[in-house]
Amino acid sequence: MNLEPQSTEPPEKEPWTIKRLLDWTAEHFEKRDTDNPRLRAEVLLAEALDCPRIELYTQFATVPSGDSLKNFRSWVKRHAAGEPVAYLVGSKEFYSLKFSVDTNVLIPRPETEHVIIEAIEAVKSLGLSVPRIADVGTGSGCIAVTLATQLPASQICAIDLSRAALDVAQRNANDHNVGANIQIIESDLFAEVPDQQFDLVVSNPPYIGTAEQNTVADSVRDFEPHVALFAGQEGMDVIRRLVASSVERLSENGYLIVEISPFILERCQALIRETSGLEWVKLVNDYSGHARVLVARRVMG
Ligand SMILES: C[S@@+](CC[C@H](N)C(=O)[O-])C[C@H]1O[C@@H](n2cnc3c(N)ncnc32)[C@H](O)[C@@H]1O
């Protein structure tokens, strides 16, 4: 890859304006089969220039230089080689909020927003004034922090077995001014969580089976933390333990809301059916029509 103006035409004839940088980079990414190549180019350039993305459009004729251009070129090269944009720029938008990310946490995905939508609906249906929520496998904290911003009276335990991930979650909680709502707990599921009941257990656990490892994009497998992705041969190792331990922790009528994939849907349905104390409520499809979130409910007796 070469972004040097000299490589094509003399710079004085055709300078590397913002418009030209974006056009060239989007085309470069497109050749590598990435989706949304233009958006990726814009996110990288906006971050390199430290300006909102929309501002690029009002500055089309500007010719960037110095460190910002150097950073941009280096990011373009690294992204073309597979490194995710979010790790390069250190952040990702989720539910219209900006979350810090690094390679210790999964990059928040739009599908996970369905967990938020279902959790808010569950809190409404329970008529709770102070919802007690456990977010198991919090990673960047995108679920816990978003719920705290949407449900300001909530008390949330954000749990993860990765200390490094919890540091990112804490930073995000502070940045969004919801640190007081969120207790950060380093724990394997509920093992280290003080004995208490929750109205909601929400989770986006690792659910990719080693059998489907080859279906995972290289940029995901090579850069995102494997503890956030893989869960045994069938992808069920964490979910099985999560379902069993959630029964103990949910209050009567409390909701279990878990992100899943179509690969494990049938096994999850069977698991909920055979778990005494839980009843199946519904399955939610994501924006692409894939099975994505299961909702179950704690029933007594
Ligand atoms: C798929 S990521 C989800 C991160 C974040 N909640 C999101 O939706 O983007 C799963 C997270 O679960 C954590 N995790 C995996 N096994 C766990 C366990 N047994 N107990 C607690 N956390 C676990 C991983 O460290 C990772 O941060």
Which DSSP string corresponds to the chain? ----GGGTS-TTTS---HHHHHHHHHHHHHHTT-SSHHHHHHHHHHHHTTS-HHHHTT-TT----HHHHHHHHHHHHHHHTT--HHHHHTEEEETTEEEE--TTSPPP-GGGHHHHHHHHHHHHHHT-SS-EEEEES-TTTHHHHHHHHHSTT-EEEEEES-HHHHHHHHHHHHHTT-GGGEEEEE-STTTTS-S--EEEEEE----B-GGGGGGS-HHHHHHS-HHHHB-TTTS-HHHHHHHHHHHHHEEEEEEEEEE--GGGHHHHHHHHHHSTTEEEEEEEE-TTS-EEEEEEEE---
Residue 205 alpha carbon, nearest atom of ligand 1: 10
pLDDT tens sequence across 111-152: 999 999 999 999 999 999 999 999 999 999 999 999 999 999
In tens, the pLDDT along 8-51 reads 444 556 899 999 999 999 999 999 877 899 999 999 999 999 99
User: Ligand 1 centre from 13 Cα, in Å?
Assistant: 52
Which residues line ligand 1 at a C-beta cut-off of 6 Å? 105-106, 108, 112, 136-140, 142-143, 159-162, 165, 188-189, 204-206, 227-228, 238
Q: Measured in angstroms, how far is the CA atom of residue 299 from the centroid of ligand 1?
A: 26
**Rounded mean pLDDT, 76-91:** 96
139 CA closest ligand 1 atom index: 27
Centroid of ligand 1 to alpha carbon of 160 (angstroms): 6
Give the Cβ contact number of residue 4 at 10 Å.
Answer: 10
Ligand 1 atom closest to 203 (CA): 6
- Give nearest CA residue, ligand 1 atom 26: 228
Structural domains in the chain, sorted by start: 5-81 (no CATH), 95-298 (3.40.50.150)
Length of the chain: 301
pLDDT in tens, 85-105: 999 999 999 999 999 999 999
The CA 54 to ligand 1 mean position distance, Å, reads: 33
pLDDT in tens, 193-218: 999 999 999 999 999 998 888 889 99
266-284 tens-digit pLDDT: 999 999 999 999 999 999 9
